[in-house]
Amino acid sequence: MLLPWELIIEILLRLPVKSLIHFKTVCKSWLTLISDPHFASSHFELAAACTERLVFVSLALSLPSVPEFRTIDFNAHLLDDSASPTFKNMFYRPRPYDDIEFLGSCRGFLLLELNGIFCVWNPSTGAYKFVHPSPVVTGRRKFFAFRGFGYDPSTDDYLVVQVYHNKLSGDYATLVDYFSIKTNSWKEIGATPLNYRQCFSYRNSTAGCFLNGAIHWLAVCYDASIHVIAAFDLTERSLSHIPLPLNFEHHDFNPSFLRILGGSLNLCSLGRDSLEIWMMKEYKVKSSWTKTVVMPIDALPTGLFFPICYTKSGDIVGTNAGARLTKCDVNGVLLEHRFYRTGSSGSKVAVYKESLLSLPCDTKQAGEDD
């Protein structure tokens, strides 16, 4: 007995991305359906069908080693090799001493800076697009304050955003430009009413966190000399800021950084022997900041712990800034940890949601020559 086509669609919408990619080979009608952008959008909106994973890059220590890219199911045991395979096809050919930074994550896509060039990549499908440098800020790269990546639903467009200032101008004016994936072009917004600069952070402090239609960075408001969260609204194309918790104390010698944890904006502060996590339970409401975690870290390997994500059971997965991934509970009890590569000089990590979504432009597939 054949199932109705409508029922088949409903079943497929609830399957994980990996299964759907395999099912493209079942028959031509399934290939057409699963490749349809409307199907991809509907599938992404069903949160139960989309799972989060990590891209974990072990950096090369010396020749002839090259960076190693893995996709990791962080809800599984870290020692389970089947849950952390290396990518079979990459969007580029890794080389020794590659300079790699993750700058943003949005709707299944990651923004990377690879040897000074931006790349938007969907790790689930392998689709990618390199972004040519902005003609406006070429030659001013050392003055960048922030970079990020997000989605504008009003135009169905993805934007690569750069916030920067030119110290040579003397006024420290904060400037913004962005790359539209849809139009394949850069646009300069110009000077903003308020000026922002980076806070000290042990990890990459220029990378943005996308949430609620805006990209967020921990910043110093230069005009008022206060620490804030700078937020760039992708629909309004405007920069504003969000206050930090009333009782939060930022010290330049204690790394502080933003994370999206549990679907909310979180502010993390790493002290000598403990980690604090503040969650903004209601977006842009200062009084909703709540200290949710005070965790001792002195008993963890290396005594360093930078949180990356929560597991479904509420445990915290983080890194020590090296090649080690660690999982512990909110009380700081070590559950498991793993080196994914011996002899690595460090790691780069990003969270992404599995997705069939495509970019509104021409892209290439991993394995194709660029």
Q: Residues 87-125: pLDDT tens digits? A: 988 888 888 888 899 999 999 999 999 998 999 999 999
The yes-or-no verdict on residue 189 having pLDDT over 60 is: yes
- Mean pLDDT value across the chain: 87
In the chain, where are the structural domains located?
1-50
Q: For residue range 244-267, what is the model confidence (pLDDT) as tens digits?
A: 998 776 655 578 889 999 999 999
Most confident stretch, 94-103, 173-182, 307-316: 307-316
Q: For the ranges 108-117, 213-222, 309-318, which has the lowest average pLDDT?
A: 213-222
Q: At residue 90, what is the residue type? A: M
Sort strands 196-198 and 214-221 into parallel, antiparallel or unpaired. Answer: antiparallel
The yes-or-no verdict on residue 141 having pLDDT over 50 is: no
Dihedrals phi, psi of 19, to nearest 5 degrees:
-65, -45
The yes-or-no verdict on residue 168 having pLDDT over 70 is: no
Q: How far apart are CA 325 and CA 221, in angstroms?
A: 34
Q: For the ranges 13-22, 94-103, 160-169, 207-216, which has the lowest average pLDDT?
A: 160-169
3-state secondary structure of 350: strand
Length of the chain: 370
The yes-or-no verdict on residue 294 having pLDDT over 70 is: yes
Alpha-carbon distances of 174 from 169, 214, 312, rounded to whole Å: 11, 17, 39
| In the chain, % of residues over pLDDT 90 | 57
Instruction: Give me the pLDDT at residue 246, please.
Output: 85
Alpha-carbon distances of 290 from 229, 269, 312, 315, rounded to whole Å: 16, 13, 21, 18
Q: How far apart are CA 331 and CA 316, in angstroms?
A: 10
Rg (CA), the chain: 21
Q: How many Å from the N-terminal Cα to the C-terminal Cα in the chain?
A: 46
Question: What dihedral angle (degrees, nearest 10) is formed by the CA atoms of 146, 147, 149, 154?
Answer: 60
Bridge partners of 144, per DSSP, are 164
Neighbours of 278 (CB within 10 A): 20
